[in-house]
Structure 1
Amino acid sequence: MTSDKIEPIFNPSLWRQRRTFLLRILSEHCVKSVLDYGCGEGALLSVLTSPVGCVDEIVRLAGLDISSEALALCAEACEPMKMDYDNLREKALDIYLYKGSVDVADKRLADYDAIVCSEVIEHLELDDVEKMLTTVLGIYRPRLFIVTTPNAEYNINFPNLNYGTDGTKFRHDDHRFEWTRCEFNAWCQRAADMYGYQVEFYGIGSMKQPIVTKDVGHCTQACVYRRLEKPADKPAWDDRQRHQLFQHIAFPWYNKSDKEEHDTIQELNEIITKLTTITYTLPNCASQVRTEWCETWSWDELSEETPLPSPPIEEITITDIIKDISPEELWSMLRVRQLCRTRERLRELLVKRDNIEMR
């Protein structure tokens, strides 16, 4: 069974629901670096180039895949666009794409906050799945590890897969296995206990009108590993680089030297003024046009003269403060983050600005 036969049954599509789930988990844990295991054509990496929920941006991404064709498409999807040059990030972003196998450790793939392995393990032999797990949880030890895979029980909703019979088929011809929820949970829990992680299980994707009414879970099952404590010792690495660096992509960012403090406060003050005040003009109703009558004038004489311009109407400029603004609202602005670099620096400058105004 191919994905194009499965996807129309779901709304939104199953792949979009999976990606939304991944983005939500990564956002909740405010990760700064992500490694996509089996990155394929870059469906996840390409959207991670923009902030995912936290204002603090991701600064390092990596993708690993065995296919050169998929990596080429991933590189194309992750290239900066015009808007990335027009709106410079306040921090650098580097993307490293590697060609290699997910069951082999490479020192360059260590120290990522999160590793994502979405719809990958079912394409591997079971021995390679175990090697991959040892590499990720035993050697890399990320703060977060997310795995998604098909839920075999849900295949009962696809009649042509003959689930539960001697003629059972997998959803894709290149799948090596598809686990039930019980099998997947047992595999995840065993690894969590072995390597010092806590696990949470999720389901993704349900039909609006499933064929069966009994509980068979969701179409995709997911496990989120959370590391219980930071490892005290780092493993002894083999310095050989086992993966081929396919491409390095560097995003443009605001790397100008910082302004002097006085100039920074001045620009910050201009930004706050624009955000919190409104200036408008009104006619001055008290200003009236007065005409003086001269007895020596005649209407004929007046008609021969060039008409005098009407006296200008005086205007009054009014400035109102329409609202206050919080440091967090300011921090959400790209230019403020470029100026201040950190929230702490923004708060320091706001205090100094207030002190200057009070003098």
Structure 2
Amino acid sequence: MVTNDAGGQAFNPSLWRQRRAFVLEILRDHAVTSVMDYGCGEGALLSVLTQASCVDGITQLIGLDLSNTALGLCAKACEPWQVDYDNLRESPLEINLYQGDATVPDKRLAGSDAIVCCEVIEHLQPHQVRVMLPILLSDYQPQLLVVTTPNIEYNINFPELRYDTPEQQLRNDDHKFEWTRHEFETWCRNGAQTYGYTAEFYGIGKLNHPVVDIDVGYCTQACVFTRSSIAQPRTNLSQTPHVSFKHIIFPWYNFPDKPEDEAIEELSDIISTMTLVTTSPEALSSATLNWCETWSWDQVMDSPPSPTVLSNEESHATIVHCDVSFEDVWNVLRVRQLCRTRERLRDFLEKLPQAHIIK
């Protein structure tokens, strides 16, 4: 089995991290709100997608796997933490995990914006792989499908696998096959053309010092299918053969709006805390914004703004007044809960006395 090393050299970052980063970037670029992980395993992807700051706007996650053991670990990884109760999401998040065969369709799995099938097909028998794209692209019809699989040509960089010899081995004992780039691209293009999708190909993972200096592509090959035509009506998708394994609902902020005067008062307190910090003259040179951890600050600026100094002779302290932008304020979870929309926040800001907000 090949792990993260080849000939004493490692992928940096590790290959699985590069694959996950690639998938997350694709999901962000397409602004999906619902994702199915087809062959979710222990939840390496789904558990990250539960984080509200990971891919904005996700409200529905589905995981499918054949292994009850893997699903048990996945369910544990996807459960809400205490921080999820302390910092409520702006929108609901529902997760459904199913135990079942990936080559059998289930009507409950249709309807996701995106399906991810990461390092799955190589674990299937050839006759099972032949029905994968009909199920994924015709039965389920997502707007987006991401498939990754090993590129066998890259195995020449793993001497222990003895690539292209009679003793050739695959990267994992459970792999039934590993495709060349041509084989993978042919399978993807045929499916895309048949079911009304475009297919774009990518490579993931290269060693800094490969064993050979010839072009053998990347360690992992990927295809992103994007729907290019109007979906055809689904046929014969009426069965529910998979077993419902776990249903998880994340806590979210579904309380009624505060009265406007109370919301504005709380917003004023938040902004005051963001922009003002009292410090001694000796500490002035190192003064920065006093961020409040309980607000789940998502995007701290690269460098704090230059402070404006106001002296306080009676207390012999110094007030450091820092400007913040509209986006700084909007990025505070509690502000989004209070205002819900950017337009309402702008309306509230017009009614505040603070003059240190960049509109």
> Normalising by structure 2, what TM-score?
0.81
Asked whether the 8 Å contact 1:37–1:115 carries over to 2, the reply is yes
Deviation at 1:258, TM superposition (A): 1.9
Q: Distance in 2 between matches of 1:213 and 1:349?
A: 57
Q: Deviations over 1:240-276 (max 9, x none)?
A: 3111000111112222222223332333333334334
Give the superposed CA RMSD.
2.7
1:291 aligned residue: none
Asked whether the 8 Å contact 1:281–1:315 carries over to 2, the reply is no
Give the direction of change, closer, same or farther, for the CA distance of 1:187–1:62 in structure 2 (3 Å limit): same
Q: Distance in 2 between matches of 1:167 and 1:199?
A: 34
Deviation at 1:127, TM superposition (A): 2.1
Local SS of the residue matching 1:46? helix
2:50 aligned residue: 49
1:67 aligned residue: 67
Unmatched 5+ stretches in structure 1: 283-312
Q: Distance in 2 between matches of 1:319 and 1:168?
A: 70
Q: Any residues of structure 2 matched to 1:52-201 within 5 Å, and which?
A: 52-54=53-55, 56-201=56-201
2:309 aligned residue: none
Q: Distance in 2 between matches of 1:59 and 1:215?
A: 41
Q: Deviations over 1:205-235 (max 9, x none)?
A: 111221111010111111111112442x541
Q: Distance in 2 between matches of 1:41 and 1:8?
A: 27
Q: Which residue identity is paired with 1:181?
A: R
Q: Do residues 267 (structure 1) and 263 (structure 2) align?
A: no
Q: Distance in 1 between matches of 2:57 and 2:117?
A: 21
Local SS of the residue matching 1:103? coil
Q: Do residues 37 (structure 1) and 38 (structure 2) align?
A: yes
Give the direction of change, closer, same or farther, for the CA distance of 1:319–1:110 in structure 2 (3 Å limit): same
Q: Do residues 354 (structure 1) and 353 (structure 2) align?
A: no
Asked whether the 8 Å contact 2:9–2:207 carries over to 1, the reply is no
Local SS of the residue matching 2:69? helix
2:304 aligned residue: none
Q: Deviations over 1:299-346 (max 9, x none)?
A: xxxxxxxxxxxxxx85699978642522x33322111221223xxx33
Q: Distance in 2 between matches of 1:139 and 1:266?
A: 52
Q: Deviations over 1:283-311 (max 9, x none)?
A: xxxxxxxxxxxxxxxxxxxxxxxxxxxxx
Deviation at 1:238, TM superposition (A): 3.7
> Normalising by structure 1, what TM-score?
0.81
Give the direction of change, closer, same or farther, for the CA distance of 1:356–1:69 in structure 2 (3 Å limit): closer
Q: Distance in 2 between matches of 1:82 and 1:356?
A: 33
Q: Distance in 1 between matches of 2:120 and 2:315?
A: 70
Identity, in percent, stands at: 52
Q: From the CA coordinates, give the structure whose radius of gyration is larger.
A: 1
Deviation at 1:42, TM superposition (A): 0.8
Q: Distance in 1 between matches of 2:269 and 2:64?
A: 45
Deviation at 1:36, TM superposition (A): 0.5
Q: Any residues of structure 2 matched to 1:246-257 within 5 Å, and which?
A: 246-257=245-256
Q: Do residues 235 (structure 1) and 231 (structure 2) align?
A: no
Q: Distance in 1 between matches of 2:116 and 2:273?
A: 42
Asked whether the 8 Å contact 1:42–1:73 carries over to 2, the reply is yes
